[in-house]
Amino acid sequence: MKIDIAVCTYRRAELDQTLLSLAVLSVPAGTLVRIIVADNDVTPSARNRVDAMRSAVPFEITYVHCPASNISIARNACLDHATGDFVAFIDDDETASEDWLAELLVTADTTGAAAVLGPVRAVYPNMAPAWMRRGDFHSTLPVWVSGEIRTGYTCNALLRRNTPSLTGRRFNIALGRSGGEDTEFFAHMHKAGGRIAYAEDALVYEPVPSGRATRAWLAKRRFRMGQTHGRMLLESSAGLGRWKAIALAGAKSAYCFAAATLLAAFPVQRHRYGLRGIMHAGVVSGLFGVREIEQYGSLEKAPQ
């Protein structure tokens, strides 16, 4: 069995730690692993970093330069260069647990799913607000709807390359700077009959940089997530159906903001409801056809 591990990168020094974590993976017997690093910078800035890591990593590393500043281009480059039975995605600021890949593969084998998602556990800096650390607002888990997972993410995922729902499927270039390209990718895969499973022990860790440990960053991200969901609803809604969806999302947003106000004395619950209200407001925006706000394509800077 052959596995490609895809790592999309953009000017991140943390890529070293990601590759080192992959170097010590527990790999099932008879499994060949190759790492694909897709450099999304205008210039091939990660090439030397990758070359310097080759001696520390026991797997073949394929470096691909795929400019520029559009994450969908990098993800598609990984799919285009993949030759294995499966493709696993991990972000360039994450580190994998030793059993990460093995757990994804076991779940893929036992379920026969087209895609398997694992959890991403946020690691907070000491300066992060107490309510943020207690509420764990940055960790990533799948969402179940009526007992099934209908969409996903690429920060911890395994794809069965040759399954019909994934054959020829690519990430939307138009969403490569806003985000939401993975949500759309998995949602369309699911609609095409691809089942999504969950491997709860396939854990990866993601440090939360100071620039993301803010209410403003969380609000912007939740709003964009809502915009993506609203735009996808718009694809299947027209006429009265669209206005019903707008009314429902607006009502949910108002309810969440009211709940946040009532829970003002409880920071975790207040922020949870407030951010959910912002997400539903984003749904309304998406249903009105407003394009997603751009979040990616430039280096994040810590607040001054």
Question: For 211-223, how does the pLDDT look when each residue is reduced to its tens digit (9 = 90+)?
Answer: 999 999 999 999 9
Q: What is the pTM of this model?
A: 0.93
d(CA 32, CA 193): 28
Q: What is the pLDDT of residue 304?
A: 29
Question: For 196-243, how does the pLDDT look when each residue is reduced to its tens digit (9 = 90+)?
Answer: 999 999 999 999 999 999 999 999 999 999 999 999 999 888 789 999
Domain residue extents for the chain: 2-207, 215-287
Amino acid at 270: R
Per-residue pLDDT band at 244 (split at 50, 70, 90): very high
Task: Say whether pLDDT at 159 is over 70.
Answer: yes
Element (H, E) at 32: strand 32-39
Task: Say whether pLDDT at 191 is over 50.
Answer: yes
DSSP bridge pairs for 205 = 95, 121
Q: Where are the alpha helices (DSSP H) in the chain?
A: 15-23, 47-53, 71-81, 100-111, 130-135, 181-191, 215-236, 240-262, 267-287
> Which tokens belong to 64?
């691909």
DSSP 247: H
Q: What is the pLDDT of residue 188?
A: 96
Summary mean pLDDT of the chain: 94
Q: What is the pLDDT of residue 296?
A: 58
Non-local CB neighbours of 148 within 8 Å, separated by 6+ positions: 195, 196
Question: For 100-140, how does the pLDDT look when each residue is reduced to its tens digit (9 = 90+)?
Answer: 999 999 999 999 999 999 999 999 999 999 999 999 999 99
Amino acid at 38: A
DSSP bridge pairs for 303 = none
The average pLDDT across 257-262 equals 98
Question: For 1-50, how does the pLDDT look when each residue is reduced to its tens digit (9 = 90+)?
Answer: 999 999 999 999 999 999 999 999 999 999 999 999 999 999 999 999 99
d(CA 7, CA 4): 10
Non-local CB neighbours of 16 within 8 Å, separated by 6+ positions: 49, 53
Which CATH class name applies to 2-207? Answer: alpha beta
Cis ω before 199 (30° cut-off from 0): no
d(CA 25, CA 23): 6
d(CA 86, CA 6): 10
Question: How do 120-123 and 2-9 pair as beta strands?
Answer: unpaired
Q: What is the pLDDT of residue 291?
A: 80
Amino acid at 134: R
Per-residue pLDDT band at 295 (split at 50, 70, 90): low
Per-residue pLDDT band at 287 (split at 50, 70, 90): very high
Higher per-residue confidence, 294 vs 138:
138
Q: What is the pLDDT of residue 238?
A: 78
> Which tokens belong to 54?
């080759």
Question: For 44-57, how does the pLDDT look when each residue is reduced to its tens digit (9 = 90+)?
Answer: 999 999 999 999 99
Q: How far is CA 235 from CA 61, 84, 151, 240, in A?
A: 39, 33, 15, 14
Element (H, E) at 159: strand 156-160
Q: What is the pLDDT of residue 303?
A: 32
Sign of CA dihedral 174, 45, 61, 17: negative
> Which tokens belong to 22?
């992959």
